[in-house]
A and B are shown apart, each in its own frame.
Chain A
């Protein structure tokens, strides 16, 4: 885009397999990360950090998780909300039962636990496909939320069924949960955490495992014939997807809202994440981020813009107009580019490479 990669020769396999083979892209990404890591915390106010960027990052992680399963492995899942609940409640039980455990370890362990649950609910995928599998994962959604609602052990016998994140430090002096935590610490922690996990996901899908997922997605019988074991491929997709989603759920409960009840992980949460990957782009890590940005930020953006234009407008009208515009935009984007925002970005990049002299 606006630059040519002419003259950049790849002399070894490592260079050929790089995620960003073009030097300019690497510089651009580096600058972008630097901007996100340094400039954003300095410039953004608390509102931006704690209600826009933090949920955006959490949802991005959940969308990456679902994208691994649905976008890369082709297994449609409606259990995202339930798996997020797993992560949140596992993390809560771990954090309260072992107060000395480091919070990052708690999140990772909550992810591992959710991966186990994901494998369990992934077993039906070995027999059923497509919409039928979606219905099977729907069972996971309802069953898991029911479990956390029904048994007070999960909420440490709190009378209302609400869990509240205990205060924990990431490094001594810097709280990321609880009342002392500042939005800047939370944001920086989340950014680093999500960036690392996104890198892991990106490398997974480029490697042997991701290739076997995509083979299963594109044609499972052919994949089986060329030697990919569906059992391994499908269950590993369920496990790793649930691992990411579980961590997202834990981050949602601990870092974003700070307190959560099982009701927060209802079926609409599953749909929300599914819409993110459909709009962002199935089978794309970048698409997960773009989709999360679209679904999380756009309603808030519409709402704020309407109120900024005319502060006297009734909040009821604003909310209803917001629903209408949001719905219309989803349809518009899907008509303009059915393959999602990631594909739109790719087309833009290709066009800009030729700009201003397209042929």
Chain B
């Protein structure tokens, strides 16, 4: 019996070895890896994003691919776990990988060095290492369309508008409730700089992973500190817990603003009616009223090929997955203009990312007019716009309650990014590229 088990194990190992050692298939398809999570504590938020991304690629394939090149998309489940993310990356990486989507700030941090060495672009869309948007030090990292620092500035800008100008912020109390990880800590530096510049008082409230225990935090916020505004950098169950706890201490919802990862249907619906009035930042449209999303419904969902349930289409995180897919496809298309209409290497697609110019005409052709802002990436600036808007939950859906807000990139954020990137370069002994 023992020998039999041993034999089975050996056979299994042989299968595994063959699977990992066999060479990649011929290069007629463009390979896109995705590090998603459909298991673990953050799965409720990871699943719609992963479905949106997969469905967008299916839609592009159904329409004939990118200039005739089909996309071969493969997922690996990280469970939002950094070491598993590294394993997934190593499993899926190959020279022909178009771009890595880590979908976790922690995993992004772990992958930056590896992907740079392997010459595969990392697209951390609205998350990840903010300093990565300095293309001179991070040639393979792209943080478009916005970073957490821009997000923090946009939200403070919105608060200033509501208060009647930046000068009215003086003496106000703003609290930040954040996931105590690399993700949640990203905006602190920016908020501290803004607090110093505009004279508001910033209080920090870290919440330990996974964020189910926030009673003490909210008692302190609601009963003791009573801040004028509360910002939140949360993810997964932390978001809905925070909204429920905020309601329990009767904190006014319309003075509670989350970053774009704290503003999806999954976050507000568990809190029911109490969540009405809760605000969050966002950088893309919601709903299905865009030609590209209608195409997904028609060509993918109605064809019985949808990755997830149909009523998920148009929700915030699903649409964010769509936007992530659209940006990767546009980068591949841009790279194809330069290197020919065939499956390309990650190194070549990086050039596509760097030459990315999604203008109004391009958005029209993609069927995403009004869905997102035009984006232009340059060699030095891998963030693009940094613009976002504020949306509010009315109990049924998200409504846009502000215009697109321009963060103070030139005056405040960009110098901070360049400084952080230079510090990283010094620590790592990297010589910055010349982008002129």
Binding site for B on A (CB under 8 A): 45-48, 50-51, 55, 96, 149, 156, 159-162, 164, 166-167, 178-180, 256-261, 263-264, 266, 300-301, 303-305, 307-309, 314-316, 318-320, 323, 348
Contacts and interface: CB of A to CB of B under 8 A. Distances in A.
Given A164-B113, A263-B181, A159 B427 contact: no
B20 A166 contact: no
B403 to A, nearest CB: 29
Contacts of B424: 164
A315 B77 contact: yes
A160 B82 contact: no
A316 B12 contact: no
A160 B147 CA distance: 13
Contacts of B77: 303, 315-316, 318-319
B180 A319 contact: no
Given A159-B188, A308-B19, A315-B75, A149 B180 contact: yes
Interface string B74-115: 011101001100110011000000000000011001101110
Interface residues of B, number: 51
A162 B182 contact: yes
Given A266-B209, A318-B77, A304 B20 contact: yes
B82 A319 contact: no
B91 A47 contact: yes
A160 B12 contact: no
A164 B16 contact: no
Q: Which of B86, B91, B113 has the most CB of A within 10 A?
A: B113
B20 A47 contact: yes
Given A46-B90, A264-B82, A320 B39 contact: yes
A348 B2 contact: yes
A178 B90 CA distance: 16
A203 to B, nearest CB: 31
A351 to B, nearest CB: 8
A304 B79 CA distance: 15
Contacts, number: 124
Given A47-B91, A315-B77, A319-B77, A263 B209 contact: yes
B382 interface: no
B90 A51 contact: yes
Contacts of B106: 162, 261, 263-264
Given A51-B87, A160-B109, A167-B429, 5 more contacts: A156-B427, A159-B185, A166-B429, A263-B182, A316-B39
Given A164-B113, A166-B428, A178-B428, A261 B16 contact: no
A180 B428 CA distance: 11
A316 to B, nearest CB: 3
Q: Which of A50, A314, A319 has the most CB of B within 10 A?
A: A319
Interface in B24-76: 36, 38-40, 43, 47, 75-76
A164 B428 contact: yes
Contacts of A323: 39
A145 B313 CA distance: 40
Contact of A307 (B19, B43, B117): B19
A178 B16 contact: no
Contacts of B129: 160
B185 A161 contact: yes
A258 B114 contact: yes
B370 interface: no
B186 interface: yes
6 contacts: A160-B186, A256-B86, A263-B182, A304-B19, A308-B16, A348-B2
Interface string B5-23: 0000000110110111100
Contacts of B86: 51, 256-257
Q: Which of A45, A55, A259, A309 has the most CB of B within 10 A?
A: A259
B272 interface: no
Contacts of B43: 316
A113 to B, nearest CB: 21
B76 A315 contact: yes
B82 A257 contact: yes
Contacts of A149: 180, 206
A300 B76 CA distance: 11
Nearest to B430: A179
Contacts of B157: none
A309 B76 CA distance: 15
A259 B20 contact: no
B420 interface: yes
B116 interface: yes
Contact of B16 (A264, A301, A319, A320): A301
Contact of A305 (B15, B75, B188): B15
B189 interface: yes
